[in-house]
Amino acid sequence: MSSWQEIGVIDVALLGIIRRWHLRHQIPLREIARRLGISRNTVRRHLWSELQNVPYPAP
């Protein structure tokens, strides 16, 4: 299990995957959530929110 699943934080790489799949490949939110093993609400929140402070892992 990766660290983002343990603590509930979406990292920059996963955010990029979500946006690419939805915007470029036109994959529905439900399918993205199923493939990644996260909630549809989480996918929706990260797609449509204007993220100013993306959580980067601590050094």
Mean pLDDT of each 10-residue bin along the chain, 59 residues long: 52 86 92 93 80 61
pLDDT at 48: 77
pLDDT at 6: 47
39: nearest Cα among 25, 26, 27, 29: 29
pLDDT at 10: 67
pLDDT at 46: 82
Q: Which fold has domain 3-48?
A: Arc Repressor Mutant, subunit A (1.10.10)
Crossing angle of helices 29-36 and 12-19, rounded to 10°: 140
pLDDT at 12: 80
pLDDT at 56: 64
